[in-house]
Amino acid sequence: MKDPPIASSPENASVLRPDFFWGFATAAAQVEGAWDADGKGHSIWDNFSRIPGKIIDGSTNADATRAYDLYKEDVQLLKKLRVNSYRFSLAWSRIIPLGGKDDPVNDAGLQYYSNLVDELLANNITPFVTLFHWDTPQALEDRYGGMLDQARYTPDFERYARVCFAALGDRVKHWITYNEPGVYTLAGYAAGVHAPGRSSLPGRNDPGDSSTEPFIVAHTELVSHAHAVKIYREEFKPKQKGVIGITLHGNYSAPWDENDPKDVEAAERALQFEIAWFADPVYGSGDYPPCMRKQLGDRLPYFTDEEKALVKGSSDFYGMNSYTTFYVRHRDEAADINDHKGNITSHDTNKAGISRGAESATPWLRSNPGGFLALLHWIWNRYRTPIYITENGTTAKGEDDWDPSSGFWLDDTFRQDFFEGYVGAVADAVRSGVDIRSYFAWTFTDNWEWAAGFTDRFGGSWVDYNSPEKTRYPKKSAFELGRIFDHLIEK
Ligand code: PNW
């Protein structure tokens, strides 16, 4: 994997289309706070974060960055950073507190999102709206086990989607159904480190079955996504004329020993287990990849003919979240019953001892623009669907210790280099014919990073969590992104 020229290189001038979207992304549960304000119901993360030991720093997301109260100030900050778009998610339990198809709608919750959309549009910022970013209403979990029950869950999600399209679709033209269905199911139902915290991995005392539930929940996500898209296309799109799709996570996998055909095969298999698991049904064959069926057998659900027809083609674009690259090695032993990665091991260095990239402050995340470029080509070659990059970004070492009273701004050189590299990969891919239409940096401000609490600072602005106003201090990289996209987007 060779790193492409950095974003600011002269050859990248004006390579991106004039209507290219760039901005920052957030998720409701990570920024809003106001966890029970104005009629909001509880989400599984509200409950999960209150179980001792689940969140590294013992925090909850009760206040987060207070984006619910401070949305007007936030839009002004976005404007100052010169973005042309902003991606955020809706909290289902704010809109339908108990979640279900026959449960009441909370007008105050809808009003908040309507105000936010208006505020963005008044400042020439295009909203990209995600329906589901992991915060399932707790009531649905209690009622029937949430996504484990596809038959009962799907009509509830359909109704929620319909309420959102009806209330906001006159102004929102870019919809994302699910954010990273794969991370939701693997972290929540295999490892159990995210809500709802189910896992049968040895040494844990959680309920759950890591060998079956992740695949069941994934199936529910795919099918309910497709139902929501059908509703949008039939009932709303003719008038509202927006686009709708799903966002998938995916890191790049490179062979540990590129001269060992088994490692080459293992790296490809890892990509298929992580990405094609969701992407093949939606953008490709309409079914799960054969290598998954081969390893998992009947533990992998089957699409009915009706579901297949519904899921295939159910996304107007490829929503792509990506952060890093791993070296991947084959295993000679049979796959473990709880394996969901394609019977491989992941490594920080390859056979030649070369590192998978410069270290961020997050163990799994290392900077590797060349891997990101290779992944863009892998996705484009396999699915030939216009790509919206909906998340990409990094933490950087030492930011917890930054002192806002120092009088200097936070010159986050690691993150600036990360963006130069990764956005450079976007430009390079576009120059060679890949159709990429957006780039959202993760994330707008430092925020509540799920099980990592407030310890992982992914933000373009540094947040003072000790101040009542959760004061935001823009980092230099946030302004650099504006300069970079000035250089890249054709006028
Ligand atoms: C994404 N991985 O999650 C989520 O969409 C965000 O909410 C989150 O804050 C952000 O990335 C940073 O973690 C991921 O291990 C979590 O490859 C883990 C991985 C990828 C994405």
User: To which residue do tokens 């952060």 refer?
Assistant: 323
- Residue 379 host element (H or E): helix 369-383
| Ligand 1 centroid from CA 239, angstroms | 34
Domains and CATH numbers, the chain: 10-488 (3.20.20.80)
Q: Is the pLDDT at 205 greater than 80, yes or no?
A: no
Q: Is 180 a catalytic residue?
A: yes
Q: What is the pLDDT of residues 240-290, one digit of tens each?
A: 999 999 999 999 999 999 999 999 999 999 999 999 999 999 999 999 999
Q: Which residues line ligand 1 (CB under 6 A)?
A: 27, 179-180, 183, 249, 251, 321, 323, 364, 391, 442, 449, 458
Q: What is the DSSP string of 79-131?
A: HHTT-SEEEEE--HHHHSTT-STTSPP-HHHHHHHHHHHHHHHHTT-EEEEEE
- The residue contributing the CA closest to ligand 1 atom 7 is 27
Predicted pLDDT at 106: 98
> In sequence order, what are the residues at sequence separation of 6 or more whose Cβ sits closer than 8 angstroms to the Cβ of residue 305?
none
- The residue contributing the CA closest to ligand 1 atom 10 is 442
| Ligand 1 centroid from CA 371, angstroms | 17
Q: Is the pLDDT at 37 greater than 90, yes or no?
A: yes
| Ligand 1 centroid from CA 230, angstroms | 28
Q: Is 307 a catalytic residue?
A: no
- The residue contributing the CA closest to ligand 1 atom 18 is 183
Q: What is the pLDDT of residues 315-361, one digit of tens each?
A: 999 999 999 999 999 999 999 999 999 999 999 999 999 999 999 99
Predicted pLDDT at 254: 98
| Ligand 1 centroid from CA 491, angstroms | 33
Predicted pLDDT at 204: 79
Looking at the whole model, is its pTM more than 0.75?
Answer: yes
Contact 144, 77 (CB under 8 A): no
Band (pLDDT 50/70/90 cuts) for residue 84 is: very high
> In sequence order, what are the residues at sequence separation of 6 or more whose Cβ sits closer than 8 angstroms to the Cβ of residue 403?
none
Q: Is the pLDDT at 27 greater than 80, yes or no?
A: yes
| Ligand 1 centroid from CA 187, angstroms | 10
> In sequence order, what are the residues at sequence separation of 6 or more whose Cβ sits closer than 8 angstroms to the Cβ of residue 281?
222, 287, 288, 303, 308, 311, 312
The best mutation among 43, 183, 322 to test binding of ligand 1, ranked by most ligand atoms within 8 Å of the C-beta, falls on 183
Q: What is the pLDDT of residues 173-201, one digit of tens each?
A: 999 999 999 999 999 999 999 999 999 99
Maximal C-alpha separation, the chain = 63
- The residue contributing the CA closest to ligand 1 atom 8 is 449
- The residue contributing the CA closest to ligand 1 atom 2 is 364
Which residue of the set 141, 180, 399, 480 is catalytic?
Answer: 180
